Amino acid sequence: MELTGKRIALGITGGIAAYKSAELVRLLIKQGASVQVAMTEAATHFVTPTTFQALSGKRVYADTWDSTIDNSMAHINFSREADVLIVAPASANFLAKIANGIADNLLTTLTLARNCPLLVAPAMNLQMWANPATQRNLSTLRADGVSVLGPASGEQACGEIGAGRMLEAEEILADVISFFQPKLLAGKKLLLTAGPTFEAIDPVRGITNLSSGKMGFALARAAQEAGADVTLICGPVCQPTPRFVTRIDVVSALEMHAAVMQHIKAQDVFIGVAAVADYRPKHLAEHKLKKNDGANVPSIEGLQFVLNPDILAEVAALPAPPLCVGFAAESHNLAEYAQKKRAAKKIPLIVGNLIQDGFGGDNNRLILFDALGQHPLTPAPKLELSRQLIAHIAHLLETC
């Protein structure tokens, strides 16, 4: 539950994307938030207040002159009790009014009267979006500190294709969760590796490991939420890319090494989460190896290996290295092996996990090892642990 205790005011303006807001209310509540909805009169032509009342469990405000509202001060009270006001969908008309301080209906009035941050998720036809007046209004809103979520590009209700679609409910949810995270890495650049590598033996076979990429992707998301400019270099995994993270897909350790070296310049932090193969087969068979009726059963001893470059150690040995953080997954003797790796790679911090805790699952058990010793974190979901690790890294950046 990422939004436990958060009070969210949700404004809905007239647009076909209003149907997505019903799902947004459901997702916000599922994450522990309470949601109070206000709609413009136009919005009620697309989805009824009854829908939002049923989903939010609260009465929906839609009429400035509603005499049943206590002291007739809905426009003042509404945002006083909210941690954030989200307007989704936000029409071109609404954005124009808010950019110019116009308050001519309940939603524009309570937006003007708010004392909490405002997030808007625009939704409109692509020509309306591209219109200089709309863009001018958005510049004004951004300068006023309003966060603009999206819009997305794609097929529109009118059949045209282009920018102006409202973000999907899941994307708005991710942006709202991110909004509440402390911006501990604002202005910092962070590069990290994740997932396994795949070292080919022949055109279809290879040596790899069970890393799913979940730990590295969670860290990438946590770093981005903390305000960092994040580049994620990952081996073959099936994880969705966290929003606003630049993802570079590679296959082998040599490719990962090349990608890291290409992007390492000007990074403030480098984190090696990937389970990189230490060795690769010396020879890559040109054609698929044949079974040969089981006559010559291949043996791993028969396969010759060469050492892969140690990416983390190489980055740490650069003349002006970023803050380097490693990971160590061990089946036993975690403290001893992790500290040995930290010393060998000459890095200030290594994060240890047992293979049975770390590989594949959504949760993990981490211990931080530094020059002072070991600091265990309470077992938790990988995203929660990532946020703690990012806070630790931000502290190291400040104190180094």
Shortest Cβ distance from residue 260 to ligand PMT (Å)?
8
Token look-up 């949760």 returns 363
Q: Of 38 and 222, which has the nearer Cβ to ligand PMT?
A: 222
Q: Of 36 and 308, which has the nearer Cβ to ligand PMT?
A: 308
Shortest Cβ distance from residue 299 to ligand PMT (Å)?
24
Q: Of 306 and 371, which has the nearer Cβ to ligand PMT?
A: 306
**Which tokens is 278 given?**
């230490």
Shortest Cβ distance from residue 200 to ligand PMT (Å)?
16
Q: Of 49 and 195, which has the nearer Cβ to ligand PMT?
A: 195
Q: Of 164 and 326, which has the nearer Cβ to ligand PMT?
A: 326
User: What whole-number distance in Å separates Cα of residue 278 and Cα of residue 83?
Assistant: 49
- In the three-class reduction of DSSP (H, G, I as helix; E, B as strand; rest coil), residue 272 is classed as strand
**158 in active site:** yes
CA distances from 391 to 182, 227, 348, 383, 385 (A): 9, 12, 15, 12, 10
User: What whole-number distance in Å separates Cα of residue 253 and Cα of residue 379?
Assistant: 30
Q: Would you list the DSSP string of 52-71?
A: HHHHHSS--B--TT-TTSGG
Shortest Cβ distance from residue 352 to ligand PMT (Å)?
8
User: What whole-number distance in Å separates Cα of residue 389 and Cα of residue 387?
Assistant: 5
User: What whole-number distance in Å separates Cα of residue 270 and Cα of residue 316?
Assistant: 9
- Which of these, 348, 190, 205, 178, lies nearest to 268 by C-alpha position? 190
User: What whole-number distance in Å separates Cα of residue 342 and Cα of residue 316?
Assistant: 11
Q: Of 116 and 335, which has the nearer Cβ to ligand PMT?
A: 335
Shortest Cβ distance from residue 307 to ligand PMT (Å)?
8
Shortest Cβ distance from residue 193 to ligand PMT (Å)?
6
User: What whole-number distance in Å separates Cα of residue 129 and Cα of residue 168?
Assistant: 17
CA distances from 170 to 26, 30, 52 (A): 10, 12, 17
- In the three-class reduction of DSSP (H, G, I as helix; E, B as strand; rest coil), residue 18 is classed as helix
Residues binding ligand PMT (CB under 6 A): 193, 195, 211-216, 253, 272-276, 278, 308, 310-312, 326-329, 341, 353, 358-360
**Which tokens is 35 given?**
């949601």
- Which of these, 197, 187, 244, lies nearest to 221 by C-alpha position? 244
Shortest Cβ distance from residue 216 to ligand PMT (Å)?
6
Single out the catalytic residue among 116, 158, 234, 400.
158
- Which of these, 382, 366, 263, lies nearest to 311 by C-alpha position? 263
Q: Of 26 and 365, which has the nearer Cβ to ligand PMT?
A: 365
User: What whole-number distance in Å separates Cα of residue 387 and Cα of residue 130?
Assistant: 37
Residue 111 phi, psi dihedral angles, 5° rounding: -70, -45
Instruction: Please identify every residue annotated as catalytic.
Output: 158
